[in-house]
Amino acid sequence: MAMKFALVGASVLLGGAHAMTVEDMLAAPRRSTAIVNPSGEWAAFSSSTYNWTTHKASTSWQLLNVASGNVSKAPFGSDVSEFVWIGPTDTSILYINGTNDDIPGGVTLYTADVADKEFSPTLVASLNAPFTGLKAAKTDSGDINFVANTLAWWNGSAYNEELATKARSSGQVFDSNWIRHWNVYMTEQRYAVFGGVLSGSNGTLSLKGEPKNLLHGIKDYLTRPETPVFPGADPGDYEISPDGKKVAFLTKAPELPKANYTASYIYVVPHDASSAPVAINGPGSSRPEAAKGASTSPRWSPDSKKIAYAQQNGISYESDRFQLYVATVDGNSSKITPVAENWDSSPQSILWNANGTDLWVISELHAAQRLWVVPANAEADFKPKNITGPQTSVADFALLPSGKALVSATSSWTSRIFYTVSAATTVDTKVLFSAHLVDRELATLSQNRTSNFWLPNENGDLIQTFVYYPPNFSTDKKWPAILIPHGGPQVALGDVWSTRWNMQLWAEQGFVVFVPQFTGTPSYSQRFTDLIANNWGSYPYRDLAMVWDHVEKNISYVDNDRAACAGASYGGYMTNWIQGHDLGRKFKALVTHDGKTHQEASYATEELYFIEHDQNGTIWDNYENYQIWNPIRHAKNWSTPHFIIHNDLDYRVVFDEGMSAFNILQSLGVPSRFLHFPDEGHHVLNRENSKVWHDHVFNWMRYWVGLDEELISEGIVHQ
């Protein structure tokens, strides 16, 4: 059933409107997901914009009226860094103020009521460190028990960088691996969840004692427990029970080395830390024998007696399927029951319905995150139905008292859409707000700027390819085209909004953009995902070649002589692989962002479990697995103009990989250009850096297909 979200606004604005520019995309409001109040009447979200005149970002808070879809300004500004709806009324809030007048580097907690005519907040706590990830529950006694996280010292105390004594030397010594991760080196400090109490018999709340580190009770570990798990620092890694008495959190398996295992367990601890945390699905628990991998999304049932969560089987396979479980927690023992265990899907975000009978989960299908409803006691063969479709990708959701969900989603044509949907089988989606109808920067976007097609590959699997069209597209002209091998490789790249590889923005440059979901992409089946292991250069390359062959032969509006190919991370690896093979000769230009050049350098990464899984073994026992799909072995064939980008703080795919590729290209006399950012990691996040990145990447492709007359010459470092 086709659900058209795009109403009048966008199509009216199409045509004469200018294309979305890089500046537009980067400046446009970035809206958080919606936080719904207890009565389901209001949802709050933050919005961050960028001004290219002042070169400053600014953040504001907005209130969405869930019944009407009206959006109004919240009565508070950006000094509220986050908040929860809690307190005496349905519009009471408890929030973190990111500043603290008394303790440099600390934060404060305030209470307020957003419905008050005069917004008059009350200071209730001064916290000695930069706490984030606030969650809270009211207890029987009327207290508010809260949890929040911050970095902690080895001895358990909260860490405040501004108050810490700075070491005189910058040297760091390590005795075991995992010395750095993502874009930072490990330090003494690890994230921890703290529990605090706000109480007040006279109605004015105040902090009772110091917040306690709830992880500190875990003893006898090999590697230090950490919640939320870095990187990501996702507050979804912990939750306070609705009665406020207990906290569930997950941490990587403390008895295993972190670099070569993904395993993590869910612990339960009393909120007052009166006894040590107990792992409900760790070794020796009642967990199913096969469930040894990473855990996610611990969520308390409304009666505070059960925890729903998802866990992978593979102990060192990060792209294994997440399976649903419900643990009944009784004292220190728990009974674990699998839920819909044969469902070939990978749910990673869970909420209980109000009466505790159903689990609402987000799981990806065909490159779009969907919402599903699963009975909490579903049999092994129960097949859940998606209640959202392919038109949007769900980022988060909340359940309303009406039993409906308020969904926060995105797509290539809207950076944020809020809509309600029910579990009913009839489609009853009601759109409350969509950015593309409101934001000037997104005015040219619409649902018909994208489509997709499916083609069977050599294994008989159907490969889905997403297509994005340039402004003023028509099929009776010939257009330059781009092939995008996505990253991961076990990450889908569907019809979603992104502030990094925003496929619609790429199309705005005058290209038709093709994004195939080649073998190894999640959300089609676990078997299909698993097939890429030890096959990096085989099935995915041949899928891409097959799709491109189809484009060349059957899509008349594509100009075969004006095509380019670009990829990041695994997509960069694949672009380097393509450069060494026949497909590389079909493109006028290539772009590799933070891609692998040299598989033998794999051990310079941090997550050894990833390479050891994907190359099916260690380099010492399985050397040929690291050799067979190694791009550098085919460097003699490199001849297509190639732009290499590699950032200094990329500790996943290290800088040297990009450096080697560029040196080889230059030595071979292949037209090539190199861009790096000393202050960026695997992703380019700073908007000023991102603008430079986009300007150069787009200019490189446009130049080599004849859309731009010159390569950018400004700001080039001359020798």
Ligand X SMILES: *[C@@H]1O[C@H](CO)[C@@H](O)[C@H](O)[C@H]1NC(C)=O
Q: Which residues are catalytic?
A: 569, 650, 682
Pairing of strands 92-97, 80-85: antiparallel
Smallest distance, Å, CB 448 to ligand X? 4
Nearest one of 248, 216, 230, 408 to 325, comparing CA atoms = 248
Under 8 Å between Cβ of 73 and 54: no
548 φ, ψ to 5°? Answer: -70, -35
Q: How far is the CB of 142 from ligand X (least distance, A)?
A: 12
Q: Nearest to residue 372, comparing CAs of 402, 341, 349?
A: 349
Beta pairing, strands 42-51 & 30-31: antiparallel
**Residue 113: CB minimum distance to ligand X, A:** 13
133 half-sphere exposure, CB direction, 13 A CA radius: 24
Please give the distance of CA 195 from its chain centroid, rounded to a whole number.
26
Q: Is 27 helix (H, G, I), strand (E, B) or coil?
A: helix
Question: Which residues bind to ligand X, rule: CB under 6 A?
Answer: 1, 11, 14-16, 18-19, 51, 53-54, 65, 68, 70, 76, 79-80, 97, 99-101, 108, 110, 121, 153, 155, 157, 176-177, 200, 202, 204, 206, 257, 260, 275-276, 278, 331-332, 353, 355, 357, 366, 386-390, 403, 427, 446, 448-449, 469, 471-473, 608, 612-613, 616-618
- Pairing verdict, β 358-365 and 368-375: antiparallel
What is the closest distance, in whole angstroms, from the C-beta atom of residue 474 to ligand X in the complex?
7
User: Based on CB atoms, which residue is closest to ligand X, 1 or 173?
Assistant: 1
Identity of the residue numbered 649: L
231 cis-preceded (ω within 30 degrees of 0): yes
Q: Which H or E element spans position 371?
A: strand 368-375
Residue 429 or 639 having the CB closest to ligand X: 429
Would you say 104 or 456 has its CB closer to ligand X?
104
Distances 381 to 92, 247, 355, 377, 526 between C-alpha atoms, Å:
43, 32, 23, 12, 16
Give the residue with the Cβ less far from ligand X, 624 or 714. 624
Closer residue to ligand X, CB minimum distance, 257 or 671 = 257
DSSP state of 158: B
Give the whole-angstrom CA distance, residue 16 versus residue 32: 30
> Residues 125-159, buried b or exposed e (16+ Cβ, 10 A)?
bbbbbbbbbbbbbeeeeebbbbbbbbbbeeeeebb
* Shorter beta-carbon distance to ligand X: residue 446 or 647: 446
CB of residue 317 to ligand X, shortest distance in Å: 8
Q: What is the DSSP letter of 222?
A: S
DSSP 232-284: TT-GGGEEE-TTSSEEEEEEE-TTS-TTT---EEEEEEETT--S--EETTSTT
Find, among 347, 346, 342, the residue nearest to 359 by Cα. Answer: 347
CB of 145 to ligand X, least distance (A): 16
On whether the CB atoms of residues 423 and 373 are closer than 8 A, the answer is yes
CB nearer ligand X, residue 33 or residue 388: 388
State how far the Cα of 114 lies from the Cα of 88, in Å rounded to an integer: 12
Q: Is 455 helix (H, G, I), strand (E, B) or coil?
A: strand
Q: How would DSSP label each residue in 626-659? A: HHHT-GGGGGGG--S-EEEE--TT--SS-HHHHH
CB of 234 to ligand X, least distance (A): 25
In the complex with ligand X, the residue whose CB is nearer, 544 or 611, is: 611
DSSP string, 191-211: EEEEEEEEE-TTS--EEEEEE
Shortest CB 166 distance to ligand X, Å = 12
Q: Residue 38 or 257: which CB sits closer to ligand X?
A: 257
* Closer residue to ligand X (CB): 39 or 332: 332
Closest distance of CB 306 from ligand X, Å: 15
Strands 642-645 and 589-593: parallel
Nearest distance from C-beta of residue 575 to ligand X, angstroms: 26
The residue ranges of DSSP E strands in 461-526, in sequence order, are 462-468, 479-483, 512-516
Q: How far apart are CA 196 and CA 125, in angstroms?
A: 10
CA angle 5, 9, 15 (to 5 degrees): 110
Q: Residue 239 or residue 441: which is nearer to ligand X going by CB? A: 441
CB of 500 to ligand X, least distance (A): 22
